[in-house]
Structure 1
Amino acid sequence: MTALMIQGAGSNVGKSMLVAGLCRAARRRGLSVAPFKPQNMSNNAAVTVDGGEIGRAQALQALACGVELHTDMNPVLLKPETDTGSQVVVQGKRLATVKAREYAALKPRLMESVLESFDRLRASYDLVIVEGAGSPAEVNLRKGDIANMGFACAAGLPVVLTGDIDRGGVIAQIVGTQAVLDHAENEMIAGFLINKFRGDPTLFDDGYRLIEERTGWRGFGVVPFFSEASKLPAEDALDLSRAQTGKGLRVACLTLSRIANFDDLDPLSQEPNVELFMVKAGQPIPGDTDLVIIPGTKSTRGDLAYLRVQGWDVDIAAHVRRGGFVLGICGGYQMLGDVVNDPEGIEGAPGHSAGLGLLALSTEMTPDKHLTRVSATHAASGTPMEGYEIHIGRTDGADRARPFAVVGGQPEGAMSRDGRIMGSYLHGMFAQDQFRAAFLEGLGAQTSNQSYSSVVEQTLDALADHLEHHVDVDGLLALAR
């Protein structure tokens, strides 16, 4: 019946993590709580119980709440396909692909869907904790805004503004935001939080008081940097560099320009006997790599071209000649074949692109998106696994006779004759402990037998504890209306 909104004085200030922690703290108080983000921009998506997709950050927040994922939790999802255009997903379903200026004209029409989803959630839960997007200080984007103050004013929600002290200039972030907002918008802001502090927080006491005096807003606390955040699913491609390293199996993942659903890698990053590293633009694939992962992408043909510009096709060919393993997931699976056809221009200009030729397959892009949760069996080990599919395109060919997995009695994915080249549409497979162990053992690696889901749950509890210790959580929740 009540709601509170967390906005940021900039992008990547830690809003998603704060909302997840507050969701868990509210749940532990016996409240039924749900997350909500009116508009998200991410190629990292999750499949919901109602057959749609939402941003992966909202999936983590829903986990913190202990509730099932639903498209109402993120009614507008923007999935960048090029530098200037994005696919627009509304209440879980693809609406259109538009340029930035076209989206600006579309936004006012989307407010109805945003408020509709929000009202359904508010009627179903004791508390809804809302996350903004970017910063309300971007007043050049204020017209038709559905993500920050435009939504807060339309829904009548109190706002807590979050600043990131780790990047510097946090006083200017908070005070400057007040300076550029109009009076009605400033009236919606009930207070502020300082996030990601390193060192002795008392050293910021004078700055904290100055913000309170300059703005008239109440401070709700200074949150020290939460180092255990690396154990939670990545919410942004920038977070991929945080993958922990160990000794043992060396796994290289290509950082594609439109990389999607990259949290597939999180369970691998926490295996102590796996060294996972991201190969960035301009870097070669190291010669001592055991497994190369070609991840999902929002633009298969575009990232095939990008891969070749980096010279990674040559590196992969050399890796295969040395007897190395390759796993392509979703768009990466499509790249492993002989050709990717897009006659209707679903992902860009109509045409076709030669694949890497490592599997006897061809893919044709189709307008319908496949969104489903999947129970499967890993063909090589007979291990049960869970995952989800979120892709366009159909893939077929001779190597499908050797499937990567079996779904409902039907083959899924493909493998080469020697089993070293593998492709699958299944995301989320490595989050399954039994499958992850069997897969890594098949590559000759030792496994830890750790429970990935338990690690995530324990980390969410630790995050809530962290906020309880440093933030006036009761005061924040009392703001909700």
Structure 2
Amino acid sequence: MQKVAKTLMVQGTTSDAGKSTLVAGLCRVLAKKGHKVAPFKPQNMALNSAVTEDGGEIGRAQALQAVAAEQPLRIDFNPILLKPSSDRRAQVIVHGKALTTLEASEFWGKQGLNYKAKAMKAVLESYNRLTSEFDYVVVEGAGSPAEINLREGDIANMGFAEAADCPVIIIADIDKGGVFAHLVGTLALLSESEQARVKGFVINRFRGDISLLQSGLDWLEEYTGKPVLGVLPYLDGLHLDAEDAIPQHQIQKQPTKLKVVVIVLPRISNHTDFEPLRLHPDVEFNYARLTDDPNRYKADLIILPGSKNVIEDLRALKLSKWQAAIQKHLRYGGKLIGICGGYQMLGQDIADQFAVEGSITHETGLGYLPITTKLNPVKHLKNVTGHLILEQDKVEVKGYEIHCGESEYTESCQHAIELECDSSVKVDGVISSDNQTLATYVHGLFDKPESLKLLLKWTGLKTEQTIDIFEIREQQIERLADVLSKHCDIKQVYDLPA
């Protein structure tokens, strides 16, 4: 008899209600109980992504959930990924591969129903593969299931739950306020069959004495007929990979020795690259928006991050005060790093003759590095290992490449990284002749403690402090699993997908 996994879906009353975190925690709880568990998100819209072992691209949240489930990354964990390149355009990634760029109306409006039917077919193909291989599949919804304008042809929330015939938990963030209205209103806007498959609620980010909330919980259960399965406390300092939102809170530290600024481009992508810097005790770390006054930061190191729309983001940078600020920063001896899209911006020019990212076909770069870039429809996706080489030092680096552009060197130069490619070595990136600017296509540049330490040394900071982002991630997942076990009725949740 073919194996069929038990499935449970987590939906939220709003975006950022805690769906991703709850799924990650449940994956680890189930994995620790000896089950083979898979995370799953039918459709995701996010600019932070990861490269899978089977050579595709999935959302960063599903990559984190795979780590929590103790499973290698695979495309089936997130079969549909939408990466916005503007307010009206998004790159559509199906089973890990970018297909095309569509106008938002083409997949959300009436004419989008054909897309949604094809997308649901891809979603169910991945889901069926997972249910035949795993004991449990823990599914994450997207946004809210009560978005009336998105209900027809839905593949992300109740549309999937109905197709898969799986039970649903709804989570709400009490820290936002109005938690009972969120839960009751969401339930009320569901159809009768959808309401029936909601098996209970989880309240997230509660602060204070739980006894003060009890009367509200009792009312909610009586009014809806649904149990409250858990009230999760506000976890201060929980450091897990963000799906999309830029972290807003500052980490309290002792006096720091290095000031780092990451420029928040309009279509910034993969900002999770910078978590090791943000967490480092010797680093004062800030995200700076293009509208911010550069003079308030006084950075030692400025970083240009990845971008989903390099040319438009480059134009936005030029229109801000930050172009002049970068010039001044370098004149005064500051350091500058560009990663992926930021690397391309630092070159001589960028061409997009196939309209991969938008309608603008060419833009002159900032001119700091001897490269030219051509964007093409075939995305480069690869996990990489190699060595970072700075001055006389050489340390291991491990990360991934995820870009549509190919860059050519216009003159001989010093390369930042040597990558291992089968039996050969491939050079990547550039270090400027004045040793002030470094750029590369490799994401994860700061992840390994050895490469982080060497990069900080390159900026002028000699420190014995180390940050191991892999170890931190593991500690935080374990912390989350322990909290779920203590504050959530795990047995009742555990038995729901019967």
Give the TM-score taking structure 2 as reference length. 0.94
| More off after superposition, 252-261 vs 397-406 | 397-406
Give SS of 1:382's match: strand
Equivalent positions of 1:240-255 (< 5 A) are 241-242=249-250, 247-255=256-264
Q: Name which of 404, 408, 413 aligns with 1:401.
A: 413
Q: Name which of 436, 441, 456 aligns with 1:420.
A: 436
Give SS of 2:385's match: strand
| More off after superposition, 197-206 vs 332-341 | 197-206
Give SS of 2:129's match: helix
Contact 1:253–1:295 (CA under 8 A) maintained in structure 2: yes
Equivalent positions of 1:77-226 (< 5 A) are 77-104=81-108, 105=112, 106-226=115-235
Q: Name which of 459, 463, 470 aligns with 2:476.
A: 459
In 2: Cα distance, 1:193 partner to 1:125 partner: 25
Cα deviation, residue 143, structure 1:
0.6
In 2: Cα distance, 1:124 partner to 1:243 partner: 41
Q: Which amino acid aligns with 2:24?
A: A
Q: Which amino acid aligns with 1:9?
A: T
1:373 — aligned with what?
Answer: 383
Q: 1:345 to 1:243 in 2, by over 3 A?
A: farther
2:490 — aligned with what?
Answer: 473
Q: Name which of 231, 243, 246 aligns with 1:238.
A: 246
| More off after superposition, 38-47 vs 308-317 | 308-317
Identity of aligned residues (%): 43
In 1: Cα distance, 2:253 partner to 2:412 partner: 34
1:8 — aligned with what?
Answer: 12
Alignment of 1:32 with 2:44, yes or no, is no
Alignment of 1:57 with 2:66, yes or no, is no
1:384 — aligned with what?
Answer: 396
Contact 2:76–2:130 (CA under 8 A) maintained in structure 1: yes
Give SS of 2:260's match: strand
Q: 1:463 to 1:134 in 2, by over 3 A?
A: same
Cα deviation, residue 245, structure 1:
5.3
Alignment of 1:442 with 2:458, yes or no, is yes
* Structure 2 spans left out of the alignment, 5+ residues: none
Equivalent positions of 1:193-342 (< 5 A) are 193-229=202-238, 231-239=239-247, 241-242=249-250, 247-286=256-295, 288-342=298-352
Alignment of 1:353 with 2:357, yes or no, is no
Q: Which amino acid aligns with 1:422?
A: L
Cα deviation, residue 399, structure 1:
5.5
Q: Which amino acid aligns with 2:433?
A: R
In 1: Cα distance, 2:358 partner to 2:188 partner: 41
Contact 1:243–1:277 (CA under 8 A) maintained in structure 2: no
Cα deviation, residue 136, structure 1:
0.5
Q: Which amino acid aligns with 2:32?
A: R
| More off after superposition, 193-202 vs 63-72 | 193-202
Give the number of equivalent residue pairs.
480
In 1: Cα distance, 2:487 partner to 2:317 partner: 45
Q: Which amino acid aligns with 2:486?
A: H
Contact 2:290–2:321 (CA under 8 A) maintained in structure 1: no
Cα deviation, residue 240, structure 1:
5.1
Contact 2:173–2:205 (CA under 8 A) maintained in structure 1: yes
Give SS of 2:477's match: helix
Q: Which amino acid aligns with 1:92?
A: G
In 1: Cα distance, 2:363 partner to 2:476 partner: 43
In 2: Cα distance, 1:241 partner to 1:278 partner: 10
Contact 2:413–2:432 (CA under 8 A) maintained in structure 1: no
In 1: Cα distance, 2:210 partner to 2:311 partner: 49
The superposition leaves residues 220-242 of structure 1 with CA deviations (integer Å, 9 ceiling, x where unpaired) of 0111111132x222222232555
Contact 1:360–1:399 (CA under 8 A) maintained in structure 2: yes
Q: 1:73 to 1:371 in 2, by over 3 A?
A: same
Give SS of 2:343's match: helix
Q: 1:78 to 1:267 in 2, by over 3 A?
A: same
The list of structure 1 runs, each at least 4 consecutive aligned residues, that deviate by more than 4 angstroms after superposition, is: 240-246
In 1: Cα distance, 2:360 partner to 2:123 partner: 33
Contact 1:163–1:170 (CA under 8 A) maintained in structure 2: yes
Contact 1:108–1:145 (CA under 8 A) maintained in structure 2: no
Cα deviation, residue 400, structure 1:
5.7
Give SS of 1:123's match: helix
Q: 1:352 to 1:243 in 2, by over 3 A?
A: farther
The superposition leaves residues 137-188 of structure 1 with CA deviations (integer Å, 9 ceiling, x where unpaired) of 1122111100000000000110001111111111111101111111011111
Q: Which amino acid aligns with 2:397?
A: M
Contact 1:85–1:100 (CA under 8 A) maintained in structure 2: yes
Cα RMSD of the aligned pairs, angstroms, is 1.3
In 2: Cα distance, 1:400 partner to 1:423 partner: 15
In 2: Cα distance, 1:19 partner to 1:97 partner: 29
Cα deviation, residue 451, structure 1:
2.5
Contact 2:11–2:170 (CA under 8 A) maintained in structure 1: yes
Contact 1:273–1:447 (CA under 8 A) maintained in structure 2: no
Q: Which amino acid aligns with 2:450?
A: Q
The superposition leaves residues 111-133 of structure 1 with CA deviations (integer Å, 9 ceiling, x where unpaired) of 01101101111111111110000
In 2: Cα distance, 1:83 partner to 1:204 partner: 40
Cα deviation, residue 393, structure 1:
0.9
Cα deviation, residue 288, structure 1:
2.5
Give SS of 1:49's match: coil
Contact 2:246–2:271 (CA under 8 A) maintained in structure 1: no
The superposition leaves residues 297-324 of structure 1 with CA deviations (integer Å, 9 ceiling, x where unpaired) of 0000010011122221111000000010
Contact 1:413–1:425 (CA under 8 A) maintained in structure 2: yes
Contact 2:381–2:400 (CA under 8 A) maintained in structure 1: yes
| More off after superposition, 373-382 vs 258-267 | 373-382
In 2: Cα distance, 1:30 partner to 1:242 partner: 37
Q: 1:112 to 1:262 in 2, by over 3 A?
A: same
Cα deviation, residue 69, structure 1:
0.2
1:343 — aligned with what?
Answer: 353
